[in-house]
């Protein structure tokens, strides 16, 4: 695995759409041998995601992990609010989407102080059962081009519902 990130929202911050938020997992992994091999690799990524969701859904969430996660998330969100232009943008978008600009300023504290392990377990259970879409970009390899150039120039999107 070259890189892996998971987060809520389309552009890195949660609550950026009027509908339910998306959980987005972004993984870059080694290429397989042809499509089947690549599919197998991608499948392992989603299998691993499901395994983590199952663990979270069926077990008590480690309170120390919960505290560390919410604290770090809250401080990241506060940091966004420290920048006047980002703050204005967030206040504006949440007013437009939810009629609730002040949510922006309350969110860090809400997440840090009020999220419980049970809530996290319930959310994980719902994610496991929810619809999901997998979009994969597979570089087409040719004998003449370098791998990097091929990945950019000839990336193919394959959507799997």
Partner 1 sequence: MTASNDGARLPLPDLDTTLPNGLRVVLCSAPVVPLVEVRLTVPYATTGPGEVALRQLLAGILLQGTAHRDADAFDNALATHGATLVAGADARRFTLTGHTLADSLPAVLALLAETVLGPRFTEDVVAPERTRLARRIELASHQPAAVAQRALLRRRYGDEAAARLEPAPRLAAACTPEDLAELHARHLGAAGAVLVLVGDLRPDDALAAVTDTFGAWRAGAADDVPRPPSPFVGGPPLWVDRPGAVQSMIRLATPALPRTDPGYPALHLAQLVFGGSFASRLVAHLREEKGYAYQLGSGMESVPGASTLMVEADTAAEHTAAALGVIRGELARMSTEPPSREEVDAARSYAIGSIATAMSSPASLASGLSNLLHIGVGADWLHGWGPLLDGVPYEAVAEAARRFFRPGDFTGVVLADESAVATLRRTGSAELDF
**Site residues for partner 1 per CB under 8 A:** 64-65, 67-69, 71-72, 74-76, 78-79, 81-85, 112, 148
Of 2 and 156, which CB lies nearer to partner 1 in the complex structure? 2
Provide, rounded to whole angstroms, the least separation between the CB of residue 119 and partner 1.
Answer: 19
Provide, rounded to whole angstroms, the least separation between the CB of residue 124 and partner 1.
Answer: 19
Provide, rounded to whole angstroms, the least separation between the CB of residue 149 and partner 1.
Answer: 10
Provide, rounded to whole angstroms, the least separation between the CB of residue 106 and partner 1.
Answer: 13
Of 65 and 160, which CB lies nearer to partner 1 in the complex structure? 65
In the chain, what is the greatest distance between 2 CA atoms, to the nearest angstrom?
A: 56
Of 79 and 126, which CB lies nearer to partner 1 in the complex structure? 79
Residue 60: what are its φ and ψ, rounded to 5°? -70, 135
Residue 108: what are its φ and ψ, rounded to 5°? -55, -40
SS3 of residue 156 by DSSP: strand
| Residue spans of beta strands (DSSP E) within the chain | 3-8, 23-28, 134-138, 156-160
Element spanning 126, H or E: helix 117-129
């Amino acid at each position: 695995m070259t890189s892996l990130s998971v987060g809520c929202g389309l552009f890195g911050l949660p609550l950026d759409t009027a509908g339910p938020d998306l959980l987005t997992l972004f993984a870059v992994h080694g290429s397989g041998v042809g499509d089947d091999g690549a599919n197998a690799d991608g499948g392992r990524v989603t299998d691993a995601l499901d395994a983590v969701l199952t663990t979270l859904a069926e077990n008590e969430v480690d309170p120390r992990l919960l505290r560390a996660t919410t604290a770090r998330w809250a401080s990241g969100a506060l940091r966004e609010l420290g920048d006047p232009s980002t703050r204005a943008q967030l206040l504006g978008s949440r007013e437009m989407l939810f009629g609730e600009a002040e949510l922006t300023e309350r969110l860090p504290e809400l997440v840090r102080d009020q999220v419980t392990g049970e809530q996290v377990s319930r959310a994980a259970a719902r994610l496991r059962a929810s619809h999901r879409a997998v979009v994969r970009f597979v570089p087409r390899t040719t004998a003449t081009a370098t791998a990097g150039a091929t990945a950019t120039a000839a990336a193919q999107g394959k959507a799997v519902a």
